[in-house]
């Protein structure tokens, strides 16, 4: 683990975060200060409020909603309209976290103009503070077009889930030259942060040292400037996939199943509702 990345503190803003929202300049300052960033996913108002109240620095409306919310095997069928809808729900629950929304598959690949139009809709209609898109050098023109309109962008390199068919599945990416070139291209295009997914820890550390913008790791070891996880994974709510890099912090799924079983048992036994749950005439 690099000693240049701080292992202490409760978030990028710590006490400051309780007074004001997290901003893009805060993300950039966090890297300079050696303070690690936290990011988790949300797709609805209730989860967004919980994450925001807990002090997470950024909330991502990921296209992972295709799997954890829609039951799809991958994220490729998620549409821009669906992402806008979920972003709008999350935006209602955000008070201080930075709200980042994914550009879904085929909402930015056709041209930089298409990318800008899609990003603009996520901000204008969805309420996103920033957008995220996958790809390195191949996506640099799209990033430049979006940031040129003053819409903040988070890049995403390494395992890019929208490329699942080309990659042959969700596989660790090890091409150091390509990944470093991709990181630098996205930084030059104007992104303010970079997600690095499923990359060997030593290579992720090289990427972090090669760019001035913060790197947010997922399956990329502890040497990144921050970390992101799918909330449904780390809470035990989604078990269809069990990535090696996920730490499960709670088994909320088991608690829900136990509560529902108890409810069904009490209703069937005539124990619920009891007198204390009924109105009197």
User: Per residue in 225-250, pLDDT tens?
Assistant: 999 999 999 999 998 878 788 999 99
Q: Say if residue 124 is in the same domain as residue 168.
A: yes
Domain identity same for 143 and 91: yes
Task: Return the closest-CA partner of residue 156 out of 95, 94, 105.
Answer: 105
Contact between residue 71 and residue 108 where contact means Cβ atoms under 8 Å apart: no
Mean pLDDT for 97-115 is: 98
Residue 10 lies in a domain: no
Q: Are 103 and 33 part of one and the same domain?
A: yes
**Residue 71 and residue 83 in one domain:** yes
Residues 6+ apart with CB under 8 A from 120: 149, 151
Candidates 72, 125, 187, 197; catalytic one? 197
Burial 38-67 (b: 16+ CB within 10 A, else e): bbbbbbebebbbebbeebbbbbbbbbbbbb
Q: Are residues 279 and 232 in the same domain?
A: no
- Domain assignment present for 101: yes
Please identify which residue in the block is written with the tokens 């088994």.
Answer: 251
Same domain, 128 and 44: yes
Say what percent of the chain tops pLDDT 70. 93
Q: How far apart are the C-alpha atoms of 68 and 75, rounded to whole Å?
A: 10
4: in domain: no
Cα distance between residue 36 and residue 25, in whole Å? 14
For residues 257 and 168, membership in a common domain is answered with: no
Q: What is the pLDDT of residues 47-100, one digit of tens each?
A: 999 999 999 999 999 999 999 999 999 999 999 999 999 999 999 999 999 999
Q: Is the pTM of this model over 0.75?
A: yes
Look up the domain containing 281 and give its range: 252-281
pLDDT number for residue 169: 86
Predicted pLDDT of residue 239: 86
105 and 24 in a common domain: yes
Is residue 84 a part of any domain in this protein? yes
Q: How confident is the model at residue 9 (pLDDT cuts 50, 70, 90)?
A: very low
Number of domains making up the chain = 2
pLDDT higher than 70, residue 219: yes
> Does residue 70 sit within a domain?
yes
User: Is there a single domain that holds both residue 138 and residue 258?
Assistant: no
Q: What is the pLDDT of residues 258-276, one digit of tens each?
A: 999 999 999 999 999 999 9
Task: Supply the pLDDT for residue 244.
Answer: 81
Q: Is residue 1 part of a domain?
A: no
Tens digit of pLDDT for each residue in 147-183? 999 999 999 999 999 999 999 888 999 999 999 999 9
**Residue 4 binned pLDDT confidence (cut-offs 50, 70, 90):** very low
Please give the sequence-ordered ranges of beta strands (E in DSSP) within the chain, or none if there are none: 37-41, 58-61, 98-102, 130-132, 153-158, 193-197, 215-218, 226-229
Question: Token pair 């030059």 is at which residue?
Answer: 188
**Same structural domain, 149 and 51:** yes
Confidence of residue 15 (pLDDT cuts 50, 70, 90): very low
Residue 12 predicted with pLDDT over 70: no
- Asked whether residue 260 falls in the same domain as residue 241, the answer is no
Residue 138 and residue 262 in one domain? no
197 is catalytic: yes
d(CA 242, CA 233): 8
Which residue's entry shows tokens 């609805």? 44
**Counts for the chain of helices (H) and strands (E), in that order:** 11, 8
- Considering the domain boundaries, does residue 11 fall inside one? no
């Amino acid at each position: 683990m690099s000693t240049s990345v701080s292992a202490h503190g409760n978030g990028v803003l710590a006490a400051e975060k309780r007074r004001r929202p997290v901003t893009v300049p805060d993300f950039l300052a966090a890297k300079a200060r050696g303070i690690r960033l936290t990011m988790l996913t949300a797709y609805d108002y209730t989860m967004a409020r919980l994450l925001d109240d807990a002090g997470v620095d950024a909330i991502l409306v990921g296209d992972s909603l295709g799997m954890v919310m829609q039951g799809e095997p991958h994220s490729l069928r998620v549409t821009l309209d669906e992402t806008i809808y979920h972003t709008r729900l999350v935006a209602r629950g955000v008070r201080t976290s930075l709200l980042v929304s994914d550009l879904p598959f085929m909402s930015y690949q056709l041209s930089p103009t298409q990318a800008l139009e899609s990003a603009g809709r996520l901000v204008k209609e969805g309420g996103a503070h920033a957008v995220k898109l996958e790809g390195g050098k191949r996506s640099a023109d799209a990033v430049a077009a979006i940031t040129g309109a003053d819409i903040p962008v988070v890049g995403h390199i390494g395992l890019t889930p929208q490329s699942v068919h080309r990659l042959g599945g969700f596989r660790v990416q090890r091409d150091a030259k390509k990944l470093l070139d991709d990181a630098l291209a996205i930084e030059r295009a104007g992104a303010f942060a970079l997600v690095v997914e499923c990359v060997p820890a030593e290579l992720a550390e090289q990427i972090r040292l090669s760019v001035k913008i913060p790197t947010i790791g997922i399956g990329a070891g502890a040497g990144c400037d921050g970390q992101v996880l799918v909330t449904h994974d780390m809470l035990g709510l989604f078990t269809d996939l069990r990535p090696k890099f996920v730490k499960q912090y709670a088994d909320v799924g088991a608690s829900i199943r136990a509560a529902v079983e108890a409810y069904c048992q009490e209703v069937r036994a005539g124990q619920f509702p009891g007198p204390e749950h009924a109105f009197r005439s």
